[in-house]
Amino acid sequence: MIDIKSLKDKILSGNLLSREEALSLCDVEPHMQDDLWNAAEEITKALCDKTFDSCSIINARSGKCPENCKWCAQSAHYKTRIDTYPLVSHEECMKTAELNRKAGIKRFSLVTSGRKMCGKDLDTVCGYYRELHDKGGMHLCASMGLLDKDELKKLYDSGVTRYHCNLEAAPSYFSQLCTTHTVEDKIKTIELAREVGFEVCSGGIIGMGESRLQRIELALELLRVNPHSIPINLLCPIPGTPLENAEPISEEEVLNTISFFRFIHPSKILRFAGGRAKLSRETQLKALRIGMNGGVMGDLLTTIGSKVSDDKKLIEEGGYDY
């Protein structure tokens, strides 16, 4: 039987779990869930910053993506009825950034559809970032696909400090969800971003038909890229995508997964991202206490997020400074 206390004590003494110990978390049974969640909460309180890491995003280029990711509303392979548009205007970008700055959100990111940003569009967004950097008040992040080193350097030189590229799913499952690129393609981009000087934000989506073991596998794979921030998304099934009828995982299993990630990444930022609005307020509070110490706030990419004022109340009730 899994010994949750021994695993917790090992982590609190400053050590990471071995792969075998991490995989043993898969054996947690329903009657052991409270012990798991309480242990994860203890690790979070002991090893994580008490200040919540907030961020916001703008969907800076939407739709017509050539990649065939089965979860994604922006893939050109599927008919999803989302708004599609080229690069967001300078006015819209600056307006959105200013609203988030005034709301006290710490990070701001442009997120673009497509395999990657390049050419004139990349030069344009670098201009946006230079202006935002000069105004100050927020850290700048970017999520622009599978860039090469020179392209990443352009972003870095424009004031961006953190690059986002999700692994999305365990290597053993990813090829069932996407065939136009691989987890290794993503890791290559992340490694280049780190070489340039970026902090890394990388996580994934749960609820896409993967097993519990594969969720733990994803958490272990993320050790390879050692991200500062790990977004955990809950699948929002989008009509028109191959996953439109995916069955949601239970709220208890969401909490179990957050705990697994906290055990494997004891001091990292685990970031609430897409899909959390589906959870009850009670479950969201529990998630904050057991591990979620960061979050994407406001509207998301193609689904509605949550009001910043409501988020602030939830974050403070969850035990964090905002």
- Digitized pLDDT (tens) for each residue of the chain, 322 residues in all: 799 999 999 999 999 999 999 999 999 999 999 999 999 999 999 999 999 999 999 988 888 899 999 999 888 898 887 778 889 999 999 999 998 888 889 999 999 988 998 899 999 999 999 999 999 999 999 999 999 999 999 999 999 999 999 999 999 999 999 999 999 999 999 999 999 999 999 999 999 999 999 999 999 999 999 999 999 999 999 999 999 999 999 999 999 999 999 999 999 999 999 888 889 999 999 999 999 999 998 754 444 445 777 888 889 999 898 7
Query: For residues 121 and 108, is the Cβ–Cβ distance under 8 A?
Result: no
Element (H, E) at 55: strand 53-61
Report the C-alpha gap between 232 and 200 in whole angstroms: 14
Query: Alpha-carbon dihedral of residues 124, 225, 8, 3, nearest 10 degrees?
Result: 130
Q: Which CATH number characterizes residue 180's domain? A: 3.20.20.70
Q: Please check whether residue 36 lies inside any domain of the structure.
A: no
Does a structural domain hold residue 12?
no
Distances (CA, A) of 38 to 43, 266, 286, 301: 9, 14, 10, 33
Within a domain: residue 168? yes
159: left (phi over 0), alpha (psi -120 to 50) or beta: left
The token pair that represents 209 in the structure block: 């038909």
Residue 18 included in any domain:
no
Model pLDDT, residue 64: 83
Q: Are strands 107-112 and 53-61 parallel, antiparallel or unpaired?
A: parallel
29 in a domain, yes or no?
A: no
Domain holding 245, by residue range, is 49-317
Confidence (pLDDT) at 299: 57
Report the C-alpha gap between 211 and 235 in whole angstroms.
14
Alpha helices in 103-243 (DSSP H): 119-135, 149-157, 171-174, 183-196, 212-221
Q: Does residue 278 lie within any of the structural domains?
A: yes
CA distances from 214 to 99, 233, 245, 260 (A): 38, 15, 20, 11
How does DSSP classify residue 85?
B
The total of structural domains in the chain comes to 1
pTM: 0.94
Residue 295 lies in a domain: yes
**7 in any annotated domain:** no
Would you give the DSSP letter of residue 150?
A: H
